[in-house]
Amino acid sequence: MSLHALGTDAPGQLVILSGNEAIARGALEAGLGYAASYPGSPSSEVLGSLGALARAGGFYAEWSTNEKVAMEGAAAASFAGVRAMTVMKADGLNVALDALTSLAYSGTKGGMVVVVSDDPGAHSSTKEEDTRYLVRACHLPLLEPATVEEAKEMTRWAFDLSEAVGLPVVLRSVTRISHARGSVTLGALRPAPRTARYDLNDRFITTSLFHQVLHQRIGQTRARFEQAPFNSCEGPAAAPRLVIAAGPSFTYAREAVRLLGLGEEVRVLKLGTTWPLPEDFLGAHLKGAREVLFLEEIEPFLETEVKSYWAQHAAELGPVTFLGKASGHVAGAGAPGVGELTPEIALRAVGALAGREFEPRSEAFARKVDRLPLHDLPPRALAFCPGCPHRASFWAIKAALELDGRQGVVLGDIGCYTLGAMQTGYFTLKTVHAMGSGVGLASGFGKLDLLGFTQPVVAVVGDSTFYHSVIPALVNARYNDAPVLVVVLDNSTTAMTGHQPHPGTGRHATGDLAPALPIEAIARGLGVPTEVQDPLRVDETVESVYRLLKTDGAKLLILRSPCVLLPSVKRLRRAAVDPARCIGEACGCGRFCNRAFSCPALVWDRALERARVDDVLCSGCGVCVDLCPRQAIAFQELASCSR
Amino acid sequence: MQPVNVVIAGVGGQGNVVASEILATALAACGYRVSVGETFGASQRGGSVMSHVRAARGETPGPLIPKGLVDIVVGFEPLETLRIIADYGRETTRVVVNPRPVYPLAVQAGEASYPDSRDLLETLGTLAAEVTVVEATELARRAGDVRAQNLAMVGALVGTGWLPIRPDAVVRILGERFADEMLRLNREAFRLGLEDVRQRV
Amino acid sequence: MGRRGPSELQTQVLAADLCTACGACLGHCPYLKSLGERVAFIHPCPRSEGRCFDVCPRTSLDPESLDRQVLGAPRRHPILGGYDGLYFARARDADVGARGQYGGVTTALVLLALESGMAGAALLTSGTPTREPRAVVARDRDTVLAAAGTKYSACPTLEPLAGLLRESSEPVAVVGRPCQVAAARKVEAREASGRLAPVIGIFCFWALTPAFYRFLEGRRDLERATKLDLPKDGGMTFAVNGRTATVRLDEIRPFIRPACQACFDPTAEWADVSVGSTEHDAAWNTLVVRTARGRDLVERARAAGALEVKPYPLERIPVLEEAVQRKKLRVLDALDAGQPEVAYLGLREAQRAAVRAHGRA
């Protein structure tokens, strides 16, 4: 993260920023006063960078408990006349949606920008959700940047727009903006205000009486969109073949036209303000088009909106062939709208428009590649890091359930520990849904005993997830006396998204100290029996889980051990295998450490026919030392091993 | 004009994001407009990762390199390097690779086998225009920490001369990005990678 | 040994609820674990054959083969198994007698085995009768005494055996239920010839599941009992604070391990000596001397003044035989009906006939 570039007051300087940093910078150039967010890939680094700059910049930045609270915090600042921003991933918008639909009715005051990052291809998500439909359902202005630099420009512009029309403005980013880097020209920084005040003549009440007002505001937005600098068209004016693109798909479209040599034959219309559609602008460019190709992520949102516009104006516009995801012309290996829209898909679609193909490789090369046994190459499944306490936790939970013998069901949630549904977590988790869903489901399963259910129920949640949305579900389980075991995997951080702090870690987004709100205090306050256990002591953990499975009512077991990637966790020792004691494949082991426990640092040495510890990867957690049936693995102190 | 297209390929956790950032900054210092396409988040947990680094004179390129247009592959891991060359490379692609394997879970569990290292490098040799093998993990160990393997590879890349990057520019950029021991380590790893390749020419 | 291993152990024994929690399969490999007297694979083992299958007394039991291995000859008694002498016995040491369930014979014999050097360590079951017991490796008097007294549930006492046999060369004394004795003999045949000395079997007609202890937790009047007993005339007695409470047997029966229904060997026919209740005089034990080593042990104990022995009352022998035969006949009926839970027993028709015929004129 190039923080020093981000906070520099040097307008005109050319720097490299990530999309998230560019968004943060855009807000700073707009005079941001308040920022709140909950971590969610690919959006987390926006608040991450703002948090690091907040103190010096004189503005407020917080990691909130969840996205709804974050949005409400930002709304408060807006009501007090302060420019505010809230940031989330697509799933986070789902959480905050009730607040956002309400704000659309109540209106806002100080510019409020809602940054939502979708994840086409679900690189870091459980779903690939296209939030543009939700923004449209809220009736709120929608902006889609096509480049990292545009993300900065749009963010700054969005604050002005928000104040002009009195509505929150949604900036919809995607992974290829948020997590990309690009050259950016810095603008001037604007200081945060010192005039926060709630004018008692203002009222921000959500009432259906304001539905009509909302529509009027959207009409004003549309008028401004007609003049927005983010919509453009390039290529020959008379060309009947038109590509309409939004987001980074625009850069793929432009590169495709260049690589295919179609610069004189195909027009490319870039839309940056995608809802409400700038209809006059659109209509002007649709005239004369006979074939229109849509390149957008994730769903055929624009495709449908434009077709609807065309249907309204069919008489003037004449017949047009629309090509895109809805028509099936733009698709990857999966169905249209499934998976990321890649440059190759864009090349194929644009090429098909003009009957051209793009093949940059020689036939000889292509044949060599065909002959490679690529499908024989081992796939690389996701795995818990070496030393991750979750591996030990899932190992213990699974063992306890096997020993319990009643076919217990384990319900999962969102975090690094979601990998507990895969091989690295021994396929322990049977369900994964939304944040907090694990305990909600557990509460339901727990009450099925009336209907013949006899299986023990375990819900596995993370520490950050606990504060986010588990508490109401835990209250429900306690209130309804559901016999469920909630296991909190507390690694003292929000790990999967980049180790952000949360209410249990004792730190703010700025790095300052914060009061720590221990999970055990909350649970015990609800009357839920709670125990704390070190998951790296596997035998003890197995016994704790086993014992708790036989008790009644709702109970909580906190498996607490810090994430090995945290800087505060020092590597003091390594494990090493004594080849003289290791029995490898033989009965009594069967390659237990590397095959069954399966830590990435435990390697099977085929030549020696013994297990070996990869000293680059080993973090020294010691679980394999305990698990080895022949005590063949022992610690080596750091001094005696070369790093 | 076509952008220069570089892919850094490896396994999550090997430091490709930092390496791509340093590389992009160094290219920007040469006057290019740069774009980097990354995938991080879940893939950091041991999955395959790649960073697309693109540099162009004129307009900023898009963040992803179309398949078949990769000029250089910087491979932090040999199996991933092979996958990237097969998917994104062409006959003119040049490769600098760290041959040290990182075993996937399936291999450790005995459900799949990892190709023989020599075969892997040989296959890379038949596909790429040029392959430079750099024991970057060992160089990083000499610098003081095996995790600086990524900077040793950046050094090796600069050492090949395939890109117009000057070493002192990278040294300066490292100074803006790191401090204290991290700075010393990364500069040393970079230097060892640079010299390891230079002394072969 | 056959090409069978963990997967067969799982389907034939563990999943079929036939496991007796003897513990023989445990302690050798990391895939098999036990908690709450339940044995389970905590992770699938990839091997197609293994020790676990070989040593389990419920994968297969061949009484004739065991008779040859342990006694050196076919049995002469179809109901009580091979034996050299049948006695009433009791410990002479008052401490030992006080700690023991009845006559303290098992404890006395274990102490002598250790003191005489016949064994370097003894594998015993320790604990109080109202809580889950644990296996203990005893090398000194105090530890042996602490393990005295009957435990009514199925503790997997043999778990430490694999480790003991591996880590040293000293002989190991084993005290176990009949299923544990059979398992110990299978271990001996596979890998530990001459290492088990002595093997003392405890009479057992059934063992309880740990649900029994939870039942006790719900009974304030019983949970602090210092001694439990199953006297002949029905009911289970609990000695609490000098008084005796009784619980009817049908309140206890629901806790009987289902696997015990398939057991054919209530008197531990392949032990060196077997010890049980007399069901007649609580101050004495029934003592069955079976092998040469068993005879040697008993003689040494008598010579050392540790054990008092008298002939088993002739008129009580039919009572003992009838109880044992009744259990064996139930199993024979199940065998005849082709029930799978007794399929592990390799009993030829001649043996079955001999069991049926015994005692009938």
pLDDT tens, position by position, A293-350 = 999 999 999 999 999 999 999 999 999 999 999 988 898 888 888 999 999 999 999 9
Residue type, C278: T
Confidence band of A639 (pLDDT split at 50, 70, 90): low
- Structurally, chain A folds into a number of domains equal to 4
With CA atoms as reference, the chain B residue closest to A571 would be: B145
Confidence of residue A572 (pLDDT cuts 50, 70, 90): confident
**Residue C1 above 70 pLDDT?**
no
B113 vs A378: CB contact, 8 Å cut-off? yes
pLDDT tens digits for C154-189?
Answer: 999 999 999 999 999 999 999 999 999 999 999 999
Per-chain mean pLDDT for chain C? 94
Residue among C31, C36, C46 minimizing CB distance to A546: C36
Query: Above pLDDT 70, what percent of chain C?
Result: 99
Interface mutation vs chain A, best among B2, B5, B64, B120, most A CBs within 10 Å: B64
Same domain for A328 and A180: no
pLDDT value at position B175? Answer: 95
Closest Cβ opposite residue B91 in set A361, A372, A497: A361
| Spatial distance between the Cα atoms of A5 and A21, rounded to a whole number of angstroms | 10
| CATH code (residue B165) | 3.40.920.10
Interface test with C, best of A401, A402, A625 (most C CBs within 10 A): A402
Q: What is the pLDDT of residue A641?
A: 45
Does A381 or C314 have the greater pLDDT score? C314
- Minimum distance, in Å, between the CA of residue A509 and any CA atom of chain B: 19
Same domain, A259 and A218: no
Report the chain B residue with the minimal C-alpha distance to residue A494. B41
Give the largest Cα separation in chain C, rounded. 56
- Amino acid identity of residue C354, one-letter, is A
DSSP C264-280: --TT-TTSSEEEEE-SS
pLDDT at A379: 86
DSSP per-residue letters across C201-247: EE--S--B-THHHHHHHT-TTTTT-SEEE--TTSSEEEEETTEEEEE
CA distance readout (Å), A75 to A29, A83, A92, A166, B65: 20, 9, 16, 12, 40
Q: Quick check: C2 pLDDT over 60? A: no
Q: Report H helices in C5-103.
A: 6-8, 51-55, 63-66, 94-99
Structural domain boundaries enclosing A634: 573-640
- Residue C178 has a pLDDT of 98
- Neighbouring C-beta atoms of residue C92, cutoff 10 Å: 15
What is the CATH classification number for the domain harbouring A621?
3.30.70.20
- Mean pLDDT across A207-215: 94
Contact between chains at B63 and A176 (C-beta distance less than 8 A): yes
pLDDT at A307: 97
| Nearest residue on chain C to A428, alpha-carbon basis | C43
Provide the pLDDT for residue A375: 84
Buried b (16+ CB within 10 A) or exposed e, B21-57: bbbbbbbbbeebbbbbbbbbbbbbbbbbbbbbbbbbe
**Residue C234 resides in a domain:** no
What total number of domains does chain B contain? 1
Give pLDDT, residue A485.
98
Average pLDDT of the residues in A381-400: 96
Give the percent of chain B with pLDDT over 90.
84
**Do A342 and A413 lie in a common domain?**
no
Q: Are residues A400 and A466 in the same domain?
A: yes
pLDDT tens digit string along A28-79? Answer: 999 999 999 999 999 999 999 999 999 999 999 999 999 999 999 999 999 9
Mean pLDDT of all residues in A124-129: 94
**Span of A117-121, A217-221, B56-60, B140-144 with lowest mean pLDDT:** B56-60
Per the CB < 8 A criterion, the answer to whether A148 and A182 are in contact is yes
Chain A contact for B46 (CB, 8 A cutoff): yes
B135 shares contact with chain A (CB less than 8 Å): no
Based on the fold, state whether residues A593 and A541 are members of the same structural domain: no
**DSSP helix, strand, coil percent of chain A (3-state; round to 5):** 40, 20, 45
Q: Would you give the distance in Å from CA C11 to the centre of its chain?
A: 24
Query: Would you state the pLDDT for residue C234?
Result: 77
Give the tens place of pLDDT for each residue, C63-87.
Answer: 999 999 999 999 889 999 999 999 9
- pLDDT given for residue A279 in this prediction: 97
Give me the domain span that covers residue C87. 69-209+256-324
Query: Could you tell me if A234 and B41 are in contact, meaning their C-beta atoms sit under 8 angstroms apart?
Result: no
Spatial neighbors of B106 by CB under 8 A, at least 6 apart, are: A378, A379, A381, A423, B112
Confirm whether A368 is domain-assigned: no
C231 domain residue, yes or no: no
Return mean pLDDT, chain A: 95
Q: Is A42 on the interface with B (CB under 8 A)?
A: yes
Does residue A148 belong to the interface with chain B, where contact is any CB pair within 8 Å? yes
Count up the domains in chain C and report the number: 1
CATH number at residue C118: 3.40.640
pLDDT, greater one: A81 or C2: A81
Q: Is the peptide bond before A389 cis (omega within 30 degrees of 0)?
A: no
Cα distance between residue B15 and residue B9, in whole Å? 10
Question: In the predicted model, what is the mean pLDDT of residues C131-152?
Answer: 96
Which tokens hold the place of C178? 């009949």
Q: Do the chains contact at C28 and A399, CB–CB below 8 Å?
A: no
Chain A residues with CB-CB distance to C under 8 A?
Answer: 398-400, 402-405, 426, 542-543, 546, 550, 587-592, 595-596, 627-629
Do A539 and A591 reside in the same domain of the chain?
Answer: no
> Does residue A370 belong to any structural domain of this protein?
no
Binning pLDDT at 50, 70 and 90, where does residue B42 land? low
C42 part of a folded domain: no
Residue A610 in this model has a pLDDT that exceeds 90: yes
Note whether residue A365 is domain-resident. Answer: no
A220 and A76 share one domain? yes
B88, pLDDT greater than 50: yes
**Would you say residue A642 has pLDDT above 70?**
no
CATH at A295: 3.40.50.920
Buried b (16+ CB within 10 A) or exposed e, C232-246: eeebbebebeeeeee
Read out DSSP for A307-360? Answer: HHHHHHTHHHH---EEESTTTT-S--SSSTTSS---HHHHHHHHHHHHT-----
Residue C280: other Cβ atoms inside 10 A: 14
Q: Tell whether C128 is covered by a domain.
A: yes
Subunit partners of chain B (3 or more CB pairs within 8 A): A
Of C70, C85, C76, C78, nearest to C286 (Cα)?
C85
**CA atoms of C173 and B40, how far apart (whole Å):** 60
Name which of C29, C38, C41 is nearest A589 (Cβ-Cβ): C29
In chain B, residues with a C-beta closer than 8 Å to the C-beta of A343 are 62, 64-67
**A430 lies in some domain:** yes
Its domain, for residue B136, covers: 4-198
CB pairs under 8 A between A and B: 194
Secondary structure class of A140 (helix, strand, coil): coil
Identify how many contiguous H helices and E strands chain C contains and give both numbers. 13, 13
Helical residues (DSSP H) of A355-461, grouped into ranges: 363-370, 389-404, 437-446
Q: What is the pLDDT of residue A94?
A: 98
- Whether residue A298 is preceded by a cis peptide bond, meaning omega within 30 degrees of 0, is yes
Beta bridge partner(s), residue A556: A486, A530
CA distance A545 to A486: 10
Which of A215-229, A596-610, B142-156, C297-311 is predicted least confidently? A596-610
Quick: pLDDT tens for A428-470: 999 999 999 999 999 999 999 999 999 999 999 999 999 999 9
Query: Is there a single domain that holds both residue A154 and residue A59?
Result: yes
Residues of C in contact with A592 (CB under 8 A): 30-31
Q: CA-nearest residue of chain B to A42?
A: B41
- Shared domain for A467 and A514, answered yes or no, is yes
- Residue A391 pLDDT class (50, 70, 90 cuts): very high
Residue C62 to chain A, least CA–CA distance (Å): 24
Q: Where are the alpha helices (DSSP H) in A447-537?
A: 463-465, 471-479, 519-525
Residue C118 domain flag: yes
pLDDT tens track for A283-296: 999 999 999 999 99
Measured between CB atoms, which of A2, A364, A383 is closest to B45? A383
Please report whether residue C43 resides in a domain.
no
Quick check: C6 and C44 in contact, CB under 8 A?
A: yes
Q: Which residues of A touch C28 (CB under 8 A)?
A: 587-588, 629
Name the more confident of B106 and A281.
A281
Q: Which of A274-278, A622-626, C221-225 has the lowest mean pLDDT?
A: C221-225
Best CA proximity match to A180, nearest among A298, A51, A23: A23
Using one digit for the tens of pLDDT, what is the confidence trace for C106-118?
999 999 999 999 9
Enumerate neighbours of C (3 or more CB pairs within 8 A): A
pLDDT average, residue stretch A193-214: 95
Instruction: Answer yes or no: do C36 and A589 touch at CB < 8 A.
Output: no
| Contact (Cβ atoms closer than 8 angstroms) between residue A528 and residue A614 | no
User: Do A330 and A252 share a domain, yes or no?
Assistant: yes
Kindly state the tokens that stand for A535: 């998951």
Assess: ipTM above 0.90.
yes
